[in-house]
C-alpha cells in the first residue's frame, strides 16, 4: 500500500502561516486523528489540532481535497497552521507518529502528480525550473512550462504526426477497405515537412539553460584603454582595480549582473599586446583570447578594423581622448549617459540570443528529443517506400511521446481507428 506523505509546503518558519500538506490514502484518517473530523471537501474549517495524547498543538484551518481531482491525484489534506517553529515541529512529530504516514522525500509530491497523470514530464520540469528561477525571463519560461504551454504544443505535434502515421499505416494495411479507400494515393511529404518546419522554429528559440546562464559580455582591447573603468561603471560598483598604470588588469575578472530580467556575465580581461615578455601578463593575454573566442558579445576597445566578430566597437575615454569616427560608440566611465547607451546596445544584441518573449523555451534534453524527431521526419519525408516511412514516423512519434512520458502506440492507434465508421 502506498504511504501517505507529509511536508511543509510553505516557507520555513517562523512565518505568519505554515501550510502542511498530507497526501495519500490515509489523508482522511489523518484528518480524523488530528482534528476529530473530516471537513466537507474544499471547505476551510477551523479546528484544534491535537496529538495522540489529546494535547492541543494549534488552532488551524483545515481543508480536505478528495482524489483524484487534486494536485497529486490522491486524497489531499492541508493544515494552515500558525507559522512558529515549535508549532510546525510539534505537528510534524504528531504526523510522523501516525501509522502509514511519513515525511515526504524531495520532489515526492510532484512525482506523485506525474504518476497519477495530473501533470506530464514537461510540466514537472517546469515546476523544477520555477523553484530555481532567479530572473524574470526564467520565471516566465518556467511558468509557461508548468502551466502546460509547451505540453500543448507537443500534443499538437503528436496529433498531427499521429494522423500522418495513421494514414500511412492505413495505406499499407487497409487499402482494400472502403473506409480508407480515399487514402490510397496519400503522399505525406508536404505534411511531414510542414511539421518538421514547425519544430525547427521552436528549436531556433533559446533553451532554458540559455535563459539561466544569460549573455556573456567580454571587455577586450589594448592596455590602458578604459576597459576596467567601464567594467566598474556597467556594474555600478568597484569590481576591478583601476589605476593610470598600463597593464593593471593581468587576469580575467568576472561579475554577474541582472538587468530587466536578463542575466549577464561581464568579463574584464588583460590588455592585449604583442610586446609583453612578462610571463604572468602573457598568461593573462592568453586567457583574454580564450574569453573573446567564447563570448556572446565583445565590447572592443581596439582599432575598429581589428574588431572580432560579435563586437561593439567602442572609442574609450572619450572625455579625454580623441574619438575614433570608425567606432560604433564613444564612451567614458565618467559619462553616465554614454554608459547607459552601451547598456542599451548590449540589450539590443541580447535580444538576438534570447529570442524575445516566446513561452516555448525547452530544456537541453527536451531539445534533443524534438531535434531527433525533426530529423526523423526529414528522413521520412524523402522516403518512397511506405514501410520505411511508417517506421521512421513511428520512431519520431516515440521521441515526442517520451518528452511527455506518454505511450506513442496508443496515440497512433487512437488517430487510426478514430477515422473508421462506427460499425467497423
Same domain, 39 and 67: yes
In a domain, residue 267? The reply is yes
Check whether 349 has a pLDDT greater than 90: no
Highest mean pLDDT among 27-36, 294-303, 350-359, 404-413: 27-36
First to last CA, the chain: 42
Same domain, 199 and 236: no
State the chain's mean pLDDT as an integer. 85
Percent of the chain with pLDDT over 70: 86
CATH number at residue 345: 3.40.50.300
Identify the band that residue 281 occupies on the pLDDT scale cut at 50, 70 and 90. Answer: low
Q: Which value, to the nearest 10 degrees, does the dihedral of the CA atoms of residues 195, 197, 198, 199 take? A: 90
Cell readout for 388 is 520505411
On whether residue 131 sits in a domain, the answer given is: no
Q: What range defines the domain where residue 199 resides?
A: 149-205+362-417
End residue of a domain, out of 338, 354, 370: 354
The verdict on residue 124 lying in a domain is: no
Of 302, 328, 354, the one marking the end of a domain is 354
Number of domains in the chain: 3
Question: In this model, does residue 127 exceed pLDDT 60?
Answer: yes
Residue at 96 is within a domain: yes
Summarize pLDDT for 249-275 with one digit per residue, the tens: 546 888 888 888 888 999 998 877 766
**Same domain, yes or no: 224 and 329:** yes
Quick one: 243 and 321 in the same domain? yes
Lowest mean pLDDT among 120-124, 281-285, 300-304: 281-285
348 and 241 within one domain: yes
Cα 277–Cα 282–Cα 287 angle in degrees, nearest 5: 170
Q: Assess if residue 123 is contained within a domain.
A: no
Whether 140 maps to a domain, the answer reads no
Shared-domain flag, residues 228 and 322: yes
C-alpha cell recorded at residue 205: 528559440
Domain final position from 99, 115, 131: 115
Q: Output the pLDDT for position 423.
A: 35
Same domain, 36 and 97: yes
Identify whether residues 217 and 347 lie together within a single domain: yes
Q: Are residues 217 and 253 in the same domain?
A: yes
Answer yes or no: do 80 and 58 share one domain.
yes
Based on the fold, state whether residues 87 and 175 are members of the same structural domain. no
Q: Count Cβ atoms below 10 Å from residue 387 Cβ, excluding itself.
A: 10
Which range is least confidently modeled, 63-72, 277-286, 320-329? 277-286
Q: Residue 393: enclosing H or E segment and its boundaries?
A: helix 386-404
Contacts 24+ apart (CB under 8 A), 387-396: 387/172, 389/168, 389/188, 390/165, 390/168, 390/169, 390/172, 393/161, 393/164, 393/165, 393/168, 393/192, 394/165, 396/161, 396/372
What gap in Å lies between CA 8 and CA 210, rounded to an integer?
A: 32
Q: Give the Cβ contact number of residue 68 at 10 Å.
A: 11
Judged against a pLDDT cut of 60, whether residue 114 lies above it is answered with yes
> Residue 382: inside a domain, yes or no?
yes
* 225 lies in some domain: yes
- Considering the domain architecture, whether residues 63 and 183 belong to the same structural domain is answered as no
Contacts 24+ apart (CB under 8 A), 382-390: 382/189, 386/168, 386/171, 386/172, 387/172, 389/168, 389/188, 390/165, 390/168, 390/169, 390/172
Amino acid at each position: 500500500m502506498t504511504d501517505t506523505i507529509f511536508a511543509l509546503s510553505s516557507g520555513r518558519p517562523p512565518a505568519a502561516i505554515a501550510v502542511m500538506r498530507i497526501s495519500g490514502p490515509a489523508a482522511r484518517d489523518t484528518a480524523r486523528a488530528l482534528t476529530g473530523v473530516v471537513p466537507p471537501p474544499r471547505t476551510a474549517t477551523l479546528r484544534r489540532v491535537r496529538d495522540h495524547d489529546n494535547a492541543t498543538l494549534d488552532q488551524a484551518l483545515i481543508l480536505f481535497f478528495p482524489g483524484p481531482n487534486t494536485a497529486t491525484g490522491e486524497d489531499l489534506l492541508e493544515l494552515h497552521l500558525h507559522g512558529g517553529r515549535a508549532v510546525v515541529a510539534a505537528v510534524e512529530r504528531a504526523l510522523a507518529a501516525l501509522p502509514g504516514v511519513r515525511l515526504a522525500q524531495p520532489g515526492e509530491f510532484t512525482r506523485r502528480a506525474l504518476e497519477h497523470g495530473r501533470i506530464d514530464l514537461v510540466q514537472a520540469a517546469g515546476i523544477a525550473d520555477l523553484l530555481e528561477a532567479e530572473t524574470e525571463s526564467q520565471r516566465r519560461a518556467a511558468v509557461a512550462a508548468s502551466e502546460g504551454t509547451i505540453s500543448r504544443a507537443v500534443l499538437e505535434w503528436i496529433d498531427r504526426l499521429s494522423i500522418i502515421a495513421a494514414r500511412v499505416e492505413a495505406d499499407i494495411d487497409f487499402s482494400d477497405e472502403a473506409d480508407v479507400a480515399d487514402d490510397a494515393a496519400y503522399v505525406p511529404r508536404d505534411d511531414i515537412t510542414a511539421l518538421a518546419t514547425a519544430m525547427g522554429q521552436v528549436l531556433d528559440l533559446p533553451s532554458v539553460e540559455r535563459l539561466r546562464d544569460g549573455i556573456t559580455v567580454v571587455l577586450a582591447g589594448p592596455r590602458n584603454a578604459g576597459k576596467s573603468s567601464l567594467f566598474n561603471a556597467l556594474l555600478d560598483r568597484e569590481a576591478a582595480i583601476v589605476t593610470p598604470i598600463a597593464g593593471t588588469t593581468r587576469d580575467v575578472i568576472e561579475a554577474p549582473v541582472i538587468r530587466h530580467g536578463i542575466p549577464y556575465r561581464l568579463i574584464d580581461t588583460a590588455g592585449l599586446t604583442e610586446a609583453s615578455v612578462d610571463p604572468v601578463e602573457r598568461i593573462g593575454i592568453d586567457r583574454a583570447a580564450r574569453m573573446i573566442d567564447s563570448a556572446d558579445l565583445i565590447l572592443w576597445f581596439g582599432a575598429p578594423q581589428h574588431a572580432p566578430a560579435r563586437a561593439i566597437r567602442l572609442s574609450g575615454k572619450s572625455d579625454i581622448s580623441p574619438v575614433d569616427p570608425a567606432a560604433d560608440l564613444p564612451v567614458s566611465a565618467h559619462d553616465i549617459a554614454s554608459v547607459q547607451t552601451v547598456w542599451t546596445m548590449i540589450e539590443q544584441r541580447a535580444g538576438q540570443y534570447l529570442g524575445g518573449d516566446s513561452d516555448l523555451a525547452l530544456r537541453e534534453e527536451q531539445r534533443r528529443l524534438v531535434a531527433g524527431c525533426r530529423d526523423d521526419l526529414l528522413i521520412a519525408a524523402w522516403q518512397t517506400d511506405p514501410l520505411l516511412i511508417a517506421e521512421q514516423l513511428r520512431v519520431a512519434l516515440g521521441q515526442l511521446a517520451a518528452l511527455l512520458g506518454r505511450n506513442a502506440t496508443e496515440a497512433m492507434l487512437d488517430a487510426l481507428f478514430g477515422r473508421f465508421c462506427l460499425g467497423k
